[in-house]
Amino acid sequence: MLLGCIGDDFTGSTDLANMLVKGGMRTIQTIGVPQSPLAEDVDAVVVALKSRTNPAAEAITQSLAALAWLRQQGCRQFYFKYCSTFDSTPAGNIGPVTEALMDALLDLPNADFTIACPAFPENGRTIFRGYLFTGDTLLSESGMKDHPLTPMTDSNLVRVLQAQTRRKVGLIRYDTVASGAPAIRERIALLRRQGVAMAIVDAVSDADLVRIADACSDLPLVTAGSGIGLGLAQHYRNGGLLQSAEHAAAMPVQDGYAAVISGSCSVATNAQVGQWLQSRPGFRVDPLRIAAGEDSVAEAITWARPLLPVEPVLIYATSDATSVKAAQALLGVEHAGQLVETTLATIAQALVKNGVRKLVVAGGETAGAVVQALNVSALRIGPQIDPGVPWTLSQGEPPGVPRLALALKSGNFGAVDFFAKALAMVHRP
């Protein structure tokens, strides 16, 4: 195993796994830290945690458990993945988790230094002179300044990271990065002599990511968004270390029916649901009716059963902001969310009992609830549907439990025809 990754949230981990597969690495994503060794022969594993906004001590415990498991699998290099907008607060968790991982790797050569590079140029996240941009806007002027949990009010990542760690934070500037891997290595050596333990790295293009990955090949730990994953995969590929790069995304065809479950209320998902309903069947789940005691699961399945042999169905709670607010006002934000999540997850179980083997799920929290209800503990990453969202195949189910093709989309991802496009890749009516 070449690369062991620790992701601080579920859909961000899928984003990294998707990037590694695009770069030719056969990749598995696990949901939490697995209890047993990995059964399959792959090039990379991404352990998806839910640690981004936990108290730092908890995030550290989870991350160290993931690292210990990855070391047991024989990984050569380790990768701490966080958001490309560097989502964190002065209390953490990027700095504290990085420190803890560095300490735990101290028995390996070069573990006294690591990089921090959230750049993802394809998605408009670039870093120049240590400042992070989203598109043409500084991070602190973007929507991230108002994030409910991790408001980002300073775009200077050296300052942001320095506030989270006792170790010295430095910068590898764009002029060094543009000069190539040897110049970056020289700069790392100089920073080390100056007592720097972590360096923010400027990057504005995919070519920069490859140069950075080349220069970091002897660091046991890198910390980054998903972008550096692309550079690392290319580095391993150029070094002839990938056995079957051409087939990294291969996914066996699954028989069975297909369905879409949507619990996301994002602008993008509302448009995707609207597009689907213009020509295909859908069933709406309403939190107010669930709260009034109606059996929405039974109703949805009775509706879906005769349709499934004919065509894929959509079951959705997706609503516009006005109806969501109305439901939340009556039921409470958390209770409304929970009712819908539990109902959609139970519907997913019932759909699988009725022969569905290909399932698209929209919504980060919704996907988490569905995957848990279906007892899925790991996913083999397949071909990309839209940027950041791949098809996946469930792994390691007990005997008698069917294998599922799953496409798990977080709210704002995907083009307007995402559902039909995803199903066209795996489903022949």
Does 263 sit near ligand ADP (CB under 6 A)? yes
State the binding string over 288-327 for ligand ADP (x if CB under 6 A, else -): -----------------------------x-x---xx--x
Q: Which one, 152 or 290, has the nearer CB to ligand ADP?
A: 290
Q: Which one, 222 or 317, has the nearer CB to ligand ADP?
A: 317
Phi and psi (nearest 5°) for 338? -65, -45
Name which position in 287, 312, 390, 414 contacts ligand ADP (CB under 6 A).
Answer: 287
Q: Which of 380, 397, 394, 421 is nearest to 260 (CA)?
A: 421
Q: How far is the CB of 243 from ligand ADP (least distance, A)?
A: 35
Q: Which one, 231 or 287, has the nearer CB to ligand ADP?
A: 287
State the binding string over 266-285 for ligand ADP (x if CB under 6 A, else -): x--x----------------
Q: What is the DSSP code (8-state) at residue 3?
A: E
Count of residues touching ligand ADP (by CB under 6 A): 22
Do the bridges between strand 405-409 and strand 356-362 make them parallel or antiparallel, or are there none, so unpaired? parallel
- 8 A C-beta contact, residue 81 and residue 46: yes
Does 363 sit near ligand ADP (CB under 6 A)? yes
Name which position in 4, 23, 337, 414 contacts ligand ADP (CB under 6 A).
Answer: 337
Phi and psi (nearest 5°) for 290? -65, -45
Q: Which of 35, 39, 48, 36 is nearest to 5 (CA)?
A: 48
Give me the amino acid identity at 116.
Answer: A
Q: How far is the CB of 316 from ligand ADP (least distance, A)?
A: 8
Q: How far is the CB of 304 from ligand ADP (least distance, A)?
A: 18
Distances (CA, A) of 363 to 71, 225, 320, 342, 416: 32, 21, 14, 13, 15
Does 341 sit near ligand ADP (CB under 6 A)? yes
Q: Which of 69, 58, 68 is nearest to 28 (CA)?
A: 69
Four-residue CA torsion sign, 55, 59, 33, 22: positive
228: its two tokens: 């550096």
Q: Which one, 249 or 265, has the nearer CB to ligand ADP?
A: 265
Q: Taking the C-alpha atoms of 347, 353, 355 and 359 in order, what is their torsion angle to the nearest 10 degrees?
A: 40
Does 265 sit near ligand ADP (CB under 6 A)? yes
Does 360 sit near ligand ADP (CB under 6 A)? no
**Which 364-383 positions form the footprint of ligand ADP (CB under 6 A)?**
364-366
**Region of 74-82, 209-217, 260-268, 295-303 interacting with ligand ADP (CB under 6 A):** 260-268
In this structure, the number of other CB atoms found within 10 A of the CB of residue 298 comes to 12
Instruction: Name the site residues for ligand ADP (rule: CB under 6 A).
Output: 263-266, 269, 287, 317, 319, 323-324, 327-328, 336-337, 340-341, 363-366, 410-411
